[in-house]
Amino acid sequence: GKTIVVTGTSSGIGAEVARLARFQGATVIGVDRNDPSLTLDGFVKADLSTVEAINAAVAQLPQRIDAFCNIAGVPGTASGELVATVNYLGLRHLTEQVLPRVPRGGSIVNVASILGAEWPQRLALHKELAAAQGFEAGAKWLRTHEVPHETCYQYFKEALIVWSAVQSQKWFMEKGVRMNCVAPGPVFTPILGDFVSMLGEERVQKDAHRMLRPGFADEIAPVIAWLCSDASRWVSGANIPVDGGLASTYI
Ligand code: NAI
């Protein structure tokens, strides 16, 4: 069986991915700042918001990681710095640290969001940020490019989609490791309410009328599990919406 490391395993989508992957026979190691509420094969307690904590967490992970899922994330109601670090800069750093342990044929899955769908409007900026490789260079680039707090969640999900696409090209060619994003629409998890505060009632109502209902974590997890599996071996650099068709209504 595969060894799969999942961040954000103590709640919502990450917990459901861990449950499903174990059910399918994988050995699942969780990483979260909170203790897990389900049985895992291993768990590393870490607050993934500083380079030091990320490095300490990586040191405790297995030497071979067949699939790595970046699912931990904070909503835009958190501080701008936390959103930048946990959802993007730290995620990048963590993934770079883990990469040497991912064998040829391995897979990396990043959870983006439907709220990152407007990445083409800022493509040049996001490509520049992706090119500022490493945590320090990325942080330095961000110090000279102001990101408004109201839209920082969207900005860093956009940046994640662009970085994943750009970076996956190199890693697939050179290392045979795939990297993809999954972009959920609204999902019933503890952070769903935070999106109402972030987006305002009007936007949320508009989206609500375009959807049957928010999704459930067990409707997102199978797509992530599939991206971890060999069945998706020819899928790399993609961003797969899992949103009950919501994104298609923006066309
Ligand atoms: P959640 O709040 O249920 O789970 C997030 C998990 O990440 C929690 O267990 C939390 O402890 C962990 N986490 C947060 N910051 C951390 C840190 N600094 N260090 C370690 N662990 C940390 O939320 P949910 O909904 O399961 O979110 C998972 C991912 O899905 C996030 O990246 C989120 O942005 C994304 N997403 C969620 C949507 C939704 O409507 N729920 C929609 C689109 C994307």
**What integer pLDDT is reported at residue 31 of this predicted model?**
99
Both tokens of 191, joined, read 């952070």
Ligand 1 shell residues, CB under 6 Å: 8, 10-14, 32-34, 47-49, 71-74, 86, 111, 113, 184, 186-187, 189-192, 195
Among the listed residues 88, 153, 155, 250, the single catalytic one is 153
Whether 88 sits among the annotated catalytic residues: the reply is no
Tens digits of per-residue pLDDT, 211-236?
999 999 999 999 999 999 999 999 99
* pTM to 2 decimal places: 0.98
Averaged pLDDT for residues 7-13? 98
Q: Is 97 exposed, middle or buried (0-12, 13-18, 19+ CB in 10 A)?
A: middle
* For residue 150, pLDDT beyond 90: yes
**What integer pLDDT is reported at residue 128 of this predicted model?**
98
With pLDDT > 70 as the criterion, what percentage of the chain qualifies?
100
Distance, CA of 218 to CA of 103 (rounded, Å): 28
Collapsed DSSP state (helix, strand, coil) of residue 3: strand
* For residue 61, pLDDT beyond 90: yes
**What integer pLDDT is reported at residue 204 of this predicted model?**
86
Give the architecture (CATH level 2) of 3-234.
3-Layer(aba) Sandwich (3.40)
Q: What is the ipTM of this complex?
A: 0.99
Both tokens of 56, joined, read 């300490």
* For residue 42, pLDDT beyond 90: yes
Tens digits of per-residue pLDDT, 178-217?
999 999 999 999 999 999 899 998 988 998 899 999 999 9
Q: Is 201 exposed, middle or buried (0-12, 13-18, 19+ CB in 10 A)?
A: exposed
Averaged pLDDT for residues 234-244? 98
Q: What is the mean pLDDT of the chain?
A: 97
Report domain extents, the chain.
Answer: 3-234
